[in-house]
Amino acid sequence: MRESSVILFHSSNYAMWAVDVLNKNNIENKLIPVPRDLSSDCGYCVMVGYDLIAQAEEFLKRENIEFDRIVDLK
Amino acid sequence: MTKISRLKNNTIYFDNSATSFPKPPAVVDAVVDYMTLVGANPGRSGHRMACEAGKIVFQARKNIAEFFGVKSPMNVIFSSNATDSLNLAIKGILCQDDHVITSSMEHNSIIRPLKMLEDRGIISITVLPGDDSGIISTGELDSAKKNNTKAVIINHMSNVTGIVQPVAEIGKWCKKNNMIFILDCAQSAGIIPIDLKSDSIDMIAFAGHKGLYGPTGTGGLIISDSFDVRKMNPLKEGGTGSMSDKTVQPNFLPDMYESGTLNVAGIAGLSKGVEFLNNMPEKLKSVQLHKVTLQKYFIEKASKRIDGFKSYSASSGFGVVSFTIGGLSVSEITQRLSDDFDIMSRQGLHCSPLAHQRIGTFPEGTVRFSFSVFNTIYEVETALEALKIIRDGK
Ligand SMILES: Cc1ncc(COP(=O)(O)O)c(C=O)c1O
């Protein structure tokens, strides 16, 4: 993927839900292990391209899918 | 019926209220696929296989949430069976000096946890007798209500007689009186449409392995979108794969109540069981029609052909028939059905002493035939022949 952001969740259950909603709305995304420097959580987060992250955030908010935060990957 | 079990062709399984058999082939395939192709622990690691496992569990949550009219898939809490789910609901919600209303048609999975809390001096209970068949009314609820009544906890569909409680009315009553409504859907899930929102139900406990056609060891508690989960304490704390830097339990659904590794193999199968029902031509209407047809045929023919046959179930019920045959003990009937005719049925009290007291069959109990969508009229006819031979002593 091009330059990307990751959406971090409190639980991978929510990451799965997010992937489902993003796929339904044709937002390209990828589940990746949570980068260690971002969080000490086990499990995964969702990576989305810079260009689509604002839209992705909008879809998650619309469905009330709680997430921890969004971080731009350097 | 397509051949989907490896039993001898002539084995007849009429014990579907205990657990359904056979399971749809897609259920079996999903279990095997998980165990042979996926394998990993969902939500614990970030690798590809863990993600695949997580996807399976999420799809199951989504299927189940949609099936029961709940918006958030996170409100589906997986457990091992209906009993496990009812224990979480009952012990998670009730506090010192709470009063609970229940019915006389309860399975031990409700009445025993309640009695245990009562015996320890924590709660008090009112058991509503209901009408002759155990069906309760809002009038009875009115007279049982006390200042400290916190919840109405009842069985939706009796596992003894198949009677169905008027859930919509009870839900409305609970909402009006600001009480928590917990419904045991062990028997009704997959037969009677249930919608937590429109019926004002706060929580339902379900078994995945009965009418939803999933594997044993599956079940869950579904919380309505409007219920405040902070009102329910978890019964166990532990690893959830989430908030791993904290030593306190997460406070959000479903993680708060799902410590420990889930039964992913079972859940994979359960998800396909729900899809199997969704794919029936008219969904649950098809299930109901099939069961009513078998039940009607069985009760009508047995009443005519078998001397002393007495049914405790209405002929219009959804495939749970309790009966006795005058002069024969229930254990003799089920043993001969099994040994001589390879027909599986269940005798006794069906874990429901109160219900048998209510219908007047305590302590001997009844013989129960419980049908699934895979049973046929031909099998019912074979059982009728068998009962006639047992009755006539040949
Ligand atoms: C009405 C009812 N409630 C609860 C249960 C318990 O279900 P499980 O065996 O999944 O715990 C049963 C099982 O027969 C039942 O019929």
CATH number at residue A55: 3.30.70.1940
The hierarchical CATH code for the domain B282-391 is: 3.90.1150.10
pTM here is: 0.95
3-class SS at B321?
A: strand
Using a 6 Å cutoff on CB, does residue B83 contact ligand 1?
Answer: yes
Measured in whole angstroms, the distance separating CA B217 from the mean position of its chain's CA atoms is: 13
Q: Does B270 sit in the ligand 1 pocket, CB within 6 Å?
A: no
- C-alpha dist (Å) from residue A65 to A47, B29, B163, B234, B380: 16, 31, 39, 22, 49
DSSP A3-65: SEEEEE-SSHHHHHHHHHHHHHTT---EEEEPPTTT---SSEEEEEEHHHHHHHHHHHHHTT-
Check CB contact under 8 Å for A16 and B57.
yes
Poorest-pLDDT segment among B40-54, B118-132, B179-193: B40-54
Q: Which residue has the tokens 């908030």?
A: B243
Domain that holds residue A18: 4-73
Which residues of chain B neighbour A47 with C-beta distances below 8 Å? none
Residues paired with B290 in a beta bridge? none
Based on C-alpha coordinates, what's the Rg of chain B? 21
Shortest distance, CA A48 to any CA of chain B (angstroms): 16
pLDDT value of residue B191: 98
* Structure confidence at residue B179 (pLDDT): 97
> Please, what are the averages of pLDDT over each run of 10 residues along chain A (74 residues)?
86 94 96 83 87 96 94 87
Kindly determine whether residue A42 and residue B57, on different chains, have CB atoms separated by under 8 Å: no
Residue B188 has pLDDT above 50, yes or no: yes
Q: Which DSSP category does B223 fall into?
A: E
CB contact under 8 A, B243 and A16: no
B248 contact A CB<8A: no
Number of domains within chain A: 1
Q: What is the CA radius of gyration of chain A?
A: 11
Query: Is the pLDDT higher at B393 or at B100?
Result: B100
Q: What's the pLDDT band for B393 if we cut at 50, 70, 90?
A: confident
| Ligand 1 center to B97 CA (angstroms) | 27
pLDDT, chain B, mean: 95
Give yes or no for residue B111 CB within 6 A of ligand 1.
no
B256 touches B229 (CB < 8 A): yes
- Would you call A10 and B54 a contact, using CB atoms and an 8 Å cutoff? no
* Residue ranges per structural domain of chain B: 26-278, 282-391
Q: How confident is the model at residue B367 (pLDDT cuts 50, 70, 90)?
A: very high
The answer, yes or no, to whether residue B42 has pLDDT greater than 70, is: yes
Class of domain B26-278: alpha beta
Min distance B55 CA to chain A CA atoms (Å):
6
Interface mutation target, options A13, A41, A67, chain B, most CBs of B under 10 Å: A13
Contact A13 B61 (CB under 8 A): yes
pLDDT greater than 90 at residue B8: no
Question: What is the distance in A from the centroid of ligand 1 to the CA of B1?
Answer: 27
Look at residues B98, B125, B92, B131 and name the one whose alpha carbon lies nearest to residue B111. B125
Q: What would the mean pLDDT of B118-137 be, rounded to a whole number?
A: 97
**Distance from Cα B20 to the centre of ligand 1, integer Å:** 12
B43 touches chain A (CB under 8 A): yes
Q: What is the mean pLDDT of residues B347-357?
A: 88
Is residue B243 scored above 90 in pLDDT?
A: no
Mutate to test the interface with A, among B58, B72, B267 (most CBs of A within 10 A): B58
Cβ of B311 below 6 Å from ligand 1: no
> What per-residue confidence (pLDDT) applies to B46?
82
- Ligand 1 atom closest to Cα of B184? 3
Region B117-125 average pLDDT: 98
**Confidence label for B315 from pLDDT (cuts 50, 70 and 90):** confident
The pLDDT of residue B2 is above 60? no
State mean pLDDT over B200-228.
Answer: 97
CA distance B35 to chain A (A): 20
The pLDDT confidence band at residue B5, using thresholds 50, 70 and 90, is: confident
Any ligand 1 atom below 6 A from CB of B161: no
User: Does B44 sit within 8 Å of A10, measured CB to CB?
Assistant: no
Mean pLDDT of B244-268: 94
- Distance from the alpha carbon of residue B328 to the mean position of ligand 1, in angstroms: 27
Closest-CA residue, ligand 1 atom 16, reads B159
